């Protein structure tokens, strides 16, 4: 197998950490600190109020401080990565990195603390004194057996979750993989014969967890550098090893593996040979997790036999056991119910959640991480990818529920579905809008949406998601044989979605006659129209919608926007009195903006801009936003004067004559329009707050601004969404992914959902 792991040399890594500001974490204020009043509320005298409230009720500390979303990452540097005991200062880059991962993957604030203490009891006493400042403690890189003592004592002394990730993180991800490996090999975990090589913190934690999940004590053998840990063994023992001593006459790893179903390695490179692998049972499960080099490589296992299910700790092989799949989401669920501890039930729940997620169709972000190939549940994909965006909303609810069920939650969650929605919003600012959109579509009459480019794998997957998520009925336009072949390729059931072949459709003649009657005085012959209906899927799909055989359509992934729109407009007109335009929704730093026209009219006239203002305001209301419209220019209320600004002033006068039922103003520069205090300089402004609908003077300024906000400003941009046609149509960008196509399909089903169509729900 080719090594795909990115190579990082020391100089590059040092430069990365040294770049100003040095390190990887910083502190930011979560409340405004712009005025004297802000300071008075944040500190003296305002801070006295929460002080007294917490004194009266200690649990109120979660309500008035950051404790509920704050984790301490603590180490003494006695076991840093695979480098050994290098001391607390040397562990700081690793601990900062762990803190960054908490924030990146679960939106948990974390701070690293390096303790200069090697004695376990003294370390425990040190952490005990400050531990309850935090909502949870993640112990890291502490040598064994000290880590067992420290974690156990801190769990007894502190009333918050304490979690040694080197032990339990590895155990949870491994357990998830074991669950799925058993599923694939037709085994019951209760009958699984397991050999664990490596009796350190991680090895013992893995064994304890899989035993709690059903592996029988008599079916598990633990090995260390001296061989099998058997009952009565006199040398190299401690209380943690003794708890897992096996009643067996096997003494070596080689003997232990003979006939075993499963090998779990947390030891050293080369510990397992091909001969040992050959001696294992059919369909062996091999987790060789020594780092940086596994006990045996996947290449060596394949040379020995072809039926093995294999995982390693490396990212350049399939099925990486990566702790980042566990600790962020385990703490997220624990913190959200204010758990007093992280117990076995919560760990098992996390493992089962991860196993379940690996069986689902993967999103585009995962395919990108796999260099464009799309993994599916099987021998090479039994553990989710670390960059799967669904982890944040999938795993914590399992953990939180287990905490509630096992009685360690201080604040139970009443509405788990609402909690899942909140989790999705933590890392994706569009999630709240999309969730509301989807719920409204589900609650309405079932719409039929035609996916014009139905042979495309991404379109097929989006159509499948549209139906399985209950958003409506999907129809794919394409040749049956090609479409079904691609359905098999992406793992979508062939009988689940209706396929329509334009050339062979029963409606072909009806569509051609209707379209010819529409276009015959525009230079088209009957044969031209018949050719378009036969061969152009956009035209055919638009005819379906125009004649009531579907409610709306989605296209654009294989053709540029202008061409796709021209195709659709062969059969569909603008709504009476309205103008077709593109509108983008921008979410940035807590602000929601609608920007138009981003795709259709290059240099709109004054009348066109007035039309756009009305349509964009109506669309904003359909998203639940009360519009405040600004018509933008390089000038503000005539300063500086210019020919181009006169057109915008005329658009405002046209709006005055129409007397619309929304706030509007112009011409205005963007910074003025978005300034909540702009009325101090312009007291005559009709906007009662910052603008949230921006009408651009030209398509290039609209396109540049949205792309600039996305690329340089870190904004999230939805769209452009097409508005103004008589029937719901959405056009995706070239090469759009499944998530984008699904969003546009939901928008088409919603119509931004204003009107009933002639098609009955089927």
**Active site members:** 43, 98
How would you write 91-159 as a 3-class SS string? HHHHHHHHHHHHHHHHCCEEEEEECCCCCHHHHHHHHHHHHHHCCEEEECCCCCCHHHHHHHHHHHHCC
Separation between Cα atoms, residue 762 and residue 447, nearest integer Å: 8
Distances (CA, A) of 384 to 106, 254, 266, 402, 596: 16, 31, 20, 21, 39
Question: What is the three-class DSSP state of 306?
Answer: coil
Phi-psi region for residue 110, left (φ > 0), alpha (ψ -120 to 50) or beta?
A: beta
Separation between Cα atoms, residue 427 and residue 445, nearest integer Å: 31
What are the two backbone dihedrals, phi and then psi, of residue 219, each rounded to the nearest 5 degrees? -100, 5
Cis amide linkage into residue 84, ω under 30° from 0: no
Q: Which residues pair with 80 in a beta bridge?
A: 84
Task: Say how many C-beta atoms besides its own lie within 10 A of residue 318's C-beta.
Answer: 20
657 Cβ neighbours under 8 A, 6+ residues apart? none
CB 389 within 8 A of CB 427: yes
Separation between Cα atoms, residue 475 and residue 454, nearest integer Å: 8
CB 554 within 8 A of CB 451: yes
651 Cβ neighbours under 8 A, 6+ residues apart? 606, 607, 609, 610, 613, 631, 666, 695
Q: Where are the alpha helices (DSSP H) in 281-320?
A: 298-304
E strand residue ranges, 410-541: 447-451, 472-477, 498-500
DSSP string, 596-659: E-SSS-SS--HHHHHHHHHHHHHHHHHTT---EEEEE-SSBTTBS--HHHHHHHHHHHHHHHH-
Phi-psi region for residue 496, left (φ > 0), alpha (ψ -120 to 50) or beta?
A: alpha
CB 110 within 8 A of CB 103: yes
């Amino acid at each position: 197998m080719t090594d795909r792991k990115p190579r990082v040399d020391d100089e590059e890594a040092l430069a990365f950490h040294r770049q100003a500001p040095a390190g990887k974490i910083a502190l930011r204020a979560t409340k405004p600190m712009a005025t004297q009043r802000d300071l008075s509320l944040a500190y003296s005298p305002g801070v006295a109020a929460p002080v007294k409230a917490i004194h009266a009720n200690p649990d109120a500390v979660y309500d008035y401080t950051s404790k509920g979303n704050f984790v301490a990452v603590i180490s003494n540097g006695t076991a840093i990565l695979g480098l050994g005991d290098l001391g607390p200062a040397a562990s700081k880059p690793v601990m900062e990195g762990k803190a960054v991962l908490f924030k990146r993957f679960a939106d948990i604030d974390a701070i690293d603390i390096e303790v200069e203490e090697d004695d376990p009891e003294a370390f425990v006493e040190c952490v005990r004194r400050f531990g309850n400042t935090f909502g949870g403690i993640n112990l890291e890189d502490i040598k064994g057996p000290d880590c067992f003592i420290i974690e156990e004592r801190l769990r007894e002394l502190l009333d918050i979750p304490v979690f040694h990730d080197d032990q339990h993180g590895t155990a949870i991800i491994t357990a998830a993989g074991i669950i799925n490996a058993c599923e694939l090999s037709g085994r019951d975990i209760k009958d699984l014969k397991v050999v664990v090589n490596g009796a350190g913190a991680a090895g013992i934690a893995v064994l304890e967890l899989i035993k709690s999940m059903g592996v029988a004590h008599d079916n598990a053998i633990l090995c260390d550098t001296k061989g099998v840990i058997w009952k009565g063994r006199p040398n190299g023992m401690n209380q943690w090893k003794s708890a897992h001593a096996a009643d067996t006459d096997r003494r070596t790893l080689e003997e232990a593996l003979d006939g075993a179903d499963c090998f779990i390695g947390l030891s050293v490179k080369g510990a397992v040979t091909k001969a040992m692998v050959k001696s294992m049972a059919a369909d062996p499960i091999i987790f060789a997790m020594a780092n940086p080099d596994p006990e045996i490589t996947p290449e060596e296992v394949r040379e020995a036999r072809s039926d093995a299910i294999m995982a390693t700790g490396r990212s350049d092989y399939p099925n990486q056991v990566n702790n980042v799949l566990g600790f962020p989401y385990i703490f997220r669920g624990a913190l959200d119910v204010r758990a007093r501890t992280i117990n076995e039930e919560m760990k098992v729940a996390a493992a089962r959640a991860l196993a379940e997620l690996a069986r689902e169709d993967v999103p585009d972000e995962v395919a990108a991480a796999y260099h464009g190939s799309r993994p599916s549940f099987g021998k090479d994909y039994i553990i989710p990818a670390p960059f799967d965006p669904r982890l944040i909303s999938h795993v914590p609810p399992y953990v939180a529920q287990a905490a509630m069920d096992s009685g360690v939650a201080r604040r139970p969650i009443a509405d788990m579905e609402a909690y899942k929605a909140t989790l999705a919003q933590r890392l994706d600012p569009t999630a709240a809008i999309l969730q509301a959109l989807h719920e409204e579509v589900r609650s309405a009459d079932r719409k039929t949406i035609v996916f014009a480019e139905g042979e495309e794998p991404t379109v097929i997957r989006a159509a499948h998601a549209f139906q399985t998520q209950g958003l409506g009925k999907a129809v794919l336009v394409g040749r049956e044989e090609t479409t079904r072949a691609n359905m098999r390729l992406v793992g979508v059931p062939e009988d689940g979605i209706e396929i329509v072949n334009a050339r062979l459709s029963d409606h072909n003649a009806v569509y051609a006659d209707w379209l010819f009657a529409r276009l015959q005085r525009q230079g088209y012959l009957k044969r031209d129209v018949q050719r378009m209906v036969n061969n152009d899927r956009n035209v055919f799909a638009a005819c379906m919608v125009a004649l009531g055989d579907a409610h709306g359509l989605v296209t654009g992934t294989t053709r540029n926007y202008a061409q796709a729109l021209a195709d659709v407009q062969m059969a569909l007109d603008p709504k009476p009195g309205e103008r077709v335009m593109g509108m983008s929704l921008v979410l940035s730093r807590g602000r929601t903006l609608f920007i138009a026209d981003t795709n259709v009219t290059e240099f709109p006239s004054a009348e066109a801009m007035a039309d756009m203002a009305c349509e964009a305001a109506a669309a904003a209301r359909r998203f639940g936003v009360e519009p405040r419209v600004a018509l933008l220019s390089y000038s503000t209320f005539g300063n500086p004067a210019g020919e181009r600004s006169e057109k915008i002033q005329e658009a405002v006068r046209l709006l005055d004559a129409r007397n619309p039922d929304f706030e509007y103003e112009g011409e205005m520069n963007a910074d003025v329009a978005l300034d909540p205090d702009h009325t101090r300089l312009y007291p005559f402004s009709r906007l009662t707050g910052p603008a949230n609908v921006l009408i651009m003077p030209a398509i290039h300024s609209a396109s540049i601004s949205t792309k600039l906000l996305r690329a340089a400003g870190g904004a999230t941009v939805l769209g452009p969404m097409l508005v103004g046609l008589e029937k719901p149509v959405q056009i995706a960008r070239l090469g759009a992914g499944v998530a984008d196509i699904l969003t546009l399909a939901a928008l088409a089903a919603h119509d931004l959902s204003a009107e009933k169509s002639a098609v009955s729900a089927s």
